[in-house]
Amino acid sequence: MLITKTYHDVPSNLSNERPIRIFVISPVVPGYPQARFPGVVCFSEIYQVTGPVERFAGQIASHGYVVACPSSFHEFEGPEPIPYDAEGRTDRGNTYKIEKTVEAYDEDATLTIDLLTSLPNCNGRIAATGMCLGGHLAFRAAFDARVLSSVCFFATDIHCATLGRGKKDDSLERVRKGDMTRKGELVMIFGKQDTHVPRLGRDLIRTTLEDANVPCSFLEVQAQHAFIRDESSKGRWDAALTRSLFTFMLEVFERTVGRDLGPRIDEKKKPEHVC
């Protein structure tokens, strides 16, 4: 499908009243101006909405989804991409990541979902995805009952609970408390050579999700961190693997938000079939 791009500046309560810019990429079907599509929140890595993130979101949109990309660090600077260099990584991206509060990250997600559901070309069925920092934010977005599925690429800081100010988030603790149980479907994707999330960390995430009965697919592939980034990846980009996992993600989105399945029935209360 063809796509169009725009943005919305949305007021924020927890970010020094600095608005958050949310970039929106929408599919267009010529001759059908009232067409409505599912929505996807696409959370970026620590560099905000860069070229690779926009291209990733654009590909999703071209398959028939209204995609919203929030600028994660609007408290500290404008919505422009942060460079993929040492200054951008250390002095800006990674610094902002632990200066921003977890509550402000959650507000950004809520505002982005609110925006999507208010758009005339969105039908209100919402999924989420993201990479690196954005993978963790897509994970937390799954606490919102409106999010019917989340696909998280190499999500950082979940296993060690170090997201946000004070480097102390409650993501896994909330899973243990049942905040993600009986909600949307989750997909966790990690590279086995990813030094940001070691094997023990991946095992902790998987075990916590399974113990909480969260419907989750857990994929570990032969790849490093940032393997889907097609620019400044330091030799880590795997185009073939990215294409394969992108197709996997689209299957999840098509099944969970691509069509209206009606109300969900609790598996434990499902009527027995009579032979």
Q: Mind listing the domains of the chain with CATH numbers?
A: 2-258 (3.40.50.1820)
Which residue, 246, 136, 252, is CA-closest to 187? 252
For the question of whether the overall pTM of this predicted structure is more than 0.85, the answer is yes
Residue 177: its pLDDT value, please?
A: 98
- For residue 194, indicate whether it is catalytic: yes
Contact 250, 274 (CB under 8 A): no
C-alpha span between 57 and 228 (Å, rounded)? 12
Q: Residue 254: in which H helix or E strand, if any?
A: helix 239-256
pLDDT tens figures, 32-81: 999 999 999 999 999 999 999 999 999 999 999 999 999 999 999 999 99
Q: Which of 190-204, 208-222, 258-272 has the lowest mean pLDDT?
A: 258-272
How far is C-alpha 248 from the chain's CA centre?
15
C-alpha span between 235 and 229 (Å, rounded)? 10
Position 156, amino acid:
T
Buried/exposed code over 166-199 (b: 16+ C-beta within 10 A; e: otherwise):
eeebebbeebeeebbeebbbbbbbbbeebebbee
Q: From the candidates 132, 144, 152, 157, which is the catalytic residue?
A: 132
pLDDT tens figures, 158-205: 999 999 999 999 999 999 999 999 999 999 999 999 999 999 999 999
Which residue, 249, 158, 136, is CA-closest to 204? 158
Q: From the candidates 122, 194, 216, 238, which is the catalytic residue?
A: 194
C-alpha span between 131 and 50 (Å, rounded)? 12
pLDDT tens figures, 108-150: 999 999 999 999 999 999 999 999 999 999 999 999 999 999 9
Q: From the candidates 122, 157, 225, 238, which is the catalytic residue?
A: 225
- For residue 225, indicate whether it is catalytic: yes
